[in-house]
Amino acid sequence: MKKRKIGAAGLEVSAVGYGCMGLSHGYGETPEKDEAIALMRNAYELGCNFFDTAEAYGAGENEKLVGEGIAPIRQNIILATKFRIYPDEEVSTMPQLMKAVESHLDASLKRLKTDYVDLYYQHRVSKQIPVEAIAWCMGELIKKGKIRGWGQSQSTAEQIRLAHAVTPMTAVQSEYSIMERTFEKEVIPACGELGIGFVPFSPLGSGFLSGKYTPAQEYKGDDVRRVITRFEKENMVANQPLLDLLHLFAQEKNATPAQISLAWMLYKYKFLVPIPGSRKPERIAENLHAADLELTPGEFNRIETELANIEIHGNRTDEDIARLYQ
């Protein structure tokens, strides 16, 4: 597996990581515990050393699962998790904020069965708390050895610059894929300029870019695809030209549409590390092997030219996701 170094902490991670959220919730029926652990260890055996979770995934259950899964390989991997300060927490002074942030981290460390986290993200930037204040807290946690690096999720370029000036960031984790390119305008260029890694979640459009779903597909339970508008039947039909493009290049490269999608972003930004999630061994292998698929400059430029003529229908928003749990 090829490696990439990201951010101020200089973390050396596999070029493709593994997003563990779906092992606990978010995409319908989840695997049994033993199966989930086997999937994580299989990813490691295939060369993946970058595992991502969050306290919010399954109300802490995902961290517990990840902690057990990585226990034998903890010293050999880069572990990322996330926290979020909620409105009812008392954080009006810096000591209170520091105490709150550290309490979130301590709870995560206990669930993860480790004494440090390699990469600690603020899951969403708070409207009430200055990013500089959070950055200062992260600096203190780095000094204490509880985290090696930190980052933000779904933040703006301005928020990134303000926070990075206080405590240099390692990575920004936000949604990015060949069909969701909003952050190409300002955020990704800012990360490149400042030496911050960029970690796309949903790099395969919540599975859409695999080309394995049809407009007739139905989603049940807590499957986020019930509320993500790109999975509405009319949008799936309208987005077929993008899948046609991916299938065309997949045939040319003896690859899969998912691998073309990942190879495209890996070629475009050398400081980018996607974290696709999957619950099948064959899909995990497929995603990780995308790191071995090299596009030529000509192939990449052809894809870019075609993308300029394709309109994307539907998206994924936090507001839509929230509807799933109302």
Cβ(90)–Cβ(100) below 8 Å: yes
Average pLDDT of the chain? Answer: 95
Nearest to 179, CA basis, from 324, 316, 289, 297: 316
Separation CA 147–CA 12 (nearest Å): 15
Residues marked active site are found at 57
pLDDT at 100: 97
User: At residue 218, what are phi and psi to the nearest 5 degrees?
Assistant: -115, 145
Amino acid (one-letter) located at 261: S
Long-range Cβ contacts of 72-78 (<8 Å, 24+ apart): 72/41, 73/41, 73/44, 74/113, 74/114, 76/44, 76/49, 77/44, 77/49, 77/50, 77/51, 77/118, 78/11, 78/12, 78/13, 78/17, 78/49, 78/50, 78/51, 78/118, 78/119
Task: Give the SS3 label for residue 11.
Answer: strand
pTM of the predicted model as reported, rounded to 2 decimal places: 0.95
Separation CA 123–CA 100 (nearest Å): 14
pLDDT at 325: 73
Identify the architecture of domain 3-212+257-293 in CATH.
Alpha-Beta Barrel (3.20)
Task: Provide the residue-wise pLDDT of the chain in tens; the chain has 326 residues.
Answer: 999 999 989 999 999 999 999 999 888 889 999 999 999 999 999 999 999 999 999 999 999 999 999 999 999 999 999 999 998 899 999 999 999 999 999 999 999 999 999 999 999 999 889 999 999 999 999 999 999 999 999 999 999 999 999 999 999 999 999 999 999 999 999 999 999 999 999 999 999 999 888 888 888 888 888 888 999 999 999 999 999 999 999 999 999 999 999 999 999 999 999 999 999 999 999 999 999 999 999 999 999 999 999 999 988 888 878 787 76
Separation CA 91–CA 294 (nearest Å): 48
Cβ(240)–Cβ(208) below 8 Å: no
pLDDT at 261: 98
pLDDT at 64: 98
pLDDT at 12: 98
User: At residue 130, what are phi and psi to the nearest 5 degrees?
Assistant: -60, 140
